Amino acid sequence: MIPTAFEYESPSTVEDAVRLLAEGGDDVKVLAGGQSLIPVLKLRLAGPELIVDLGRIDGLRGIREDGDALVIGAMTPHHEVATSALVREHAALLAEATSTVADPQVRHRGTLGGALVHADPAGDLPAPALALGASFEIAGPSGVRTVAAEDFFVDLFTTAVGEDEILTAVRVPKHTGWAAAYEKFVRVSQQWSIVAVAATVRLDGGTIADARLGLTNMGTTPVRPRSVEQALIGVSPVKEAVDAAVADVAEGTTPPDDLNGSADYRRHLARVLTQRAVVRAAAA
């Protein structure tokens, strides 16, 4: 199907992009890598009057160190994130999760920022961002503001980015001394997660000293099971002990119930994948 007619702008600065969004209101869509937007346009599920392409804006692409954090431009393609030596060293969870996104074509065209703002509950990047304690730099008419991951994902396909704002960068704290793993359960015919778990752990004296978790597709937004994180502290990172500690990981979640799996099945998967992710991370 062919998209409905629209105007197209390709600004060269963040300020111009924000201005175009503010002037356009509800009838504007932002184009990053296009891997989510283009299919929606072709199916005519959206018919914007204006599309603002961020591809020409300098400074929105790239990965750099900034003290105790990595700063990743919102327009950085998945492939660059997954293969970056900096990301692999300081935020291995993000590198692993990004390497599982869709297929090579999508990973070379799709962007980190686009996937995060799209906020698909089955997407691979929101839960790792939550587990890593990432924060998001958002530019708007009033300047740049920073939003923590806990406050960024608001609802189904909805984030804290306003209609007249764009995500410019993601800040990820360096996880020195931490190990990580991303466990994902998918259908062979698709790469969206039925359930996935992001885990980062820090060991001390052979037991888990700290842990951060993120659950994918267990609700309308990524879930951080803080009570289970606390239950893991002091636990030996072996299968039986971890399995007992994460028994309630799906408590309070609202997973979908559809042709890919029932809600109860997803709760079971969440427990199994959490145990696997924690044990594998601890062994890294």
Residue pLDDT, tens place only, 81-131: 999 999 999 999 999 999 999 999 999 999 999 999 999 999 999 999 999
What's the whole-number average pLDDT of the chain?
A: 97
**In which residue are the tokens 């879930």 written?**
223
Confidence grade of residue 187 (pLDDT, cut at 50, 70, 90): confident
245 part of a folded domain? yes
Residues 215 and 253 in one domain: yes
Q: What pLDDT does 190 receive?
A: 63
Let me know: does 139 contact 14? Beta carbons within 8 Å: yes
The closest alpha carbon to 28, from 163, 160, 190, 152, belongs to: 163
Least confident of 35-49, 123-137, 236-250: 35-49
Q: What pLDDT does 167 receive?
A: 99
Let me know: does 138 contact 116? Beta carbons within 8 Å: no
The closest alpha carbon to 138, from 172, 173, 164, belongs to: 164
Task: Print the domain residue range for 18.
Answer: 7-52
Q: Could you tell me where the DSSP H helices lie in 132-223? A: 149-152
What's the helix, strand, coil split of the chain in %, to 5? 35, 25, 40
What count of other Cβ atoms lies within 10 Å of the Cβ of residue 194?
21
The predicted-structure confidence for 189-241, as pLDDT tens digits, reads as follows 567 899 999 999 999 999 999 999 999 999 999 999 999 999 999 999 999 99
- Distance from C-alpha of 166 to C-alpha of 111, rounded to nearest angstrom: 13
Let me know: does 271 contact 195? Beta carbons within 8 Å: no
189 part of a folded domain? yes
Domain count, the chain: 3
29 part of a folded domain? yes
Confidence grade of residue 279 (pLDDT, cut at 50, 70, 90): very high
- Distance from C-alpha of 179 to C-alpha of 93, rounded to nearest angstrom: 8
The closest alpha carbon to 31, from 6, 57, 60, 51, belongs to: 51
Residues 67 and 155 in one domain: yes
CATH code of the domain containing 22:
3.30.43.10
- 25 has a pLDDT exceeding 80: no
